[in-house]
Amino acid sequence: MRLSRYFLPTLRETPKEAEIVSHRLMLRAGLIRQEAAGIYAWLPLGLRVLEKVNRIIREEQNRSGAIELLMPTIQSADLWRESGRYDAYGKEMLRIRDRQDREMLYGPTNEEMITEIFRAYVRSYKDLPLNLYHIQWKFRDEIRPRFGTMRSREFLMKDAYSFDLDRESARQSYNKMFVAYLRTFSRMGLKAIPMRADTGPIGGDLSHEFIILASTGESEVFGHADYLDFPVPSEDTNFDDHRALQNIVDRWTSLYAATSEMHDPAAFETVPADRRMSARGIEVGHIFYFGTKYSDPMGATVTGPDGQERPVHMGSYGIGPTRLVAAIIEASHDDQGIIWPAAVAPFDVAILNLKSGDAATDAASAELERAFAARGLDVLYDDREERPGAKFATADLIGVPWQVLVGPRSLAEGKVELKHRATGQRELVSLSEAPGRIVSGG
Ligand code: ATP
Ligand code: MG
Superfamily of domain 347-437: Anticodon-binding domain (3.40.50.800)
Helix (H) or strand (E) holding 138: strand 130-139
**Alpha carbon distance 333, 339 (integer Å):** 5
Atom of ligand 1 nearest to the CA of 210: 18
The one-letter code for the residue type at 308 is Q
- Please state which CATH class domain 3-338 belongs to: alpha beta
The DSSP code sequence of 19-42 is -SHHHHHHHHTTSEEEEETTEEEE
- 284 close to ligand 1 (CB < 6 Angstrom): yes
Ordered by start, the domain boundaries in the chain are 3-338, 347-437
Q: What is the residue with the minimal CA distance to atom 31 of ligand 1? A: 320
> Atom 27, ligand 1: which residue's CA is nearest?
151
Q: How far from chain centre, in Å, is Cα 214?
A: 15
> Strand, coil or helix: what is 91?
helix
Neighbours of ion ligand 2 (CB under 5 A): 286
For residues 144 and 151, give the distance between their C-alpha atoms in angstroms, rounded to a whole number. 8
Query: Is 320 close to ligand 1, i.e. is its CB under 6 Å away?
Result: yes
Ligand 1 center–CA 155 separation, angstroms: 9
Alpha carbons 6 and 377: distance in angstroms, whole number: 17
What residues form DSSP beta bridges with 103? 97
Return d(Cα 428, Cα 405) in angstroms, integer: 9
Ligand 1 pocket, 20 CB below 6 A?
A: no
Q: Which residues pair with 39 in a beta bridge?
A: 36
Question: Rounded to whole angstroms, what are the CA distances from 304 to 66, 119, 120, 311?
Answer: 22, 15, 17, 10
- Answer whether 0.75 is exceeded by the pTM: yes
Residue minimizing CA distance to atom 25 of ligand 1: 151
* Ligand 1 center to 138 CA (angstroms): 10
**Cβ(401) – ligand 1 distance below 6 Å:** no
Measure 317 CA to ligand 2 centroid, in angstroms.
9
Q: At what angle do helices 44-63 and 167-187 cross, to 10 degrees?
A: 140
Identify whether the C-beta of residue 284 lies closer than 8 Å to the C-beta of residue 192.
yes
pLDDT in tens, the chain (442 residues): 999 999 999 998 888 889 999 999 999 999 999 999 999 999 999 999 999 999 999 999 999 999 999 999 999 999 999 999 999 999 999 999 999 999 999 999 999 999 999 999 999 999 999 999 999 999 999 999 999 999 999 999 999 999 999 999 999 999 999 999 999 999 999 999 999 998 776 666 799 999 999 999 999 999 999 999 999 999 999 999 999 999 999 999 999 999 999 999 999 999 999 999 999 999 999 999 999 999 999 999 999 999 999 999 999 999 999 999 999 999 999 999 999 999 999 999 999 999 999 999 999 999 999 999 999 999 999 999 999 999 999 999 999 999 999 999 999 999 999 999 999 999 999 999 999 999 887 6
What spacing in Å lies between the alpha carbon of 285 and ligand 2's midpoint? 7
> Residue 302 contacts by C-beta under 8 Å, 6 or more apart in sequence?
122, 123, 124, 125, 127, 128, 163, 165, 309, 310, 312
C-alpha of residue 181 to centroid of ligand 1, in Å? 15
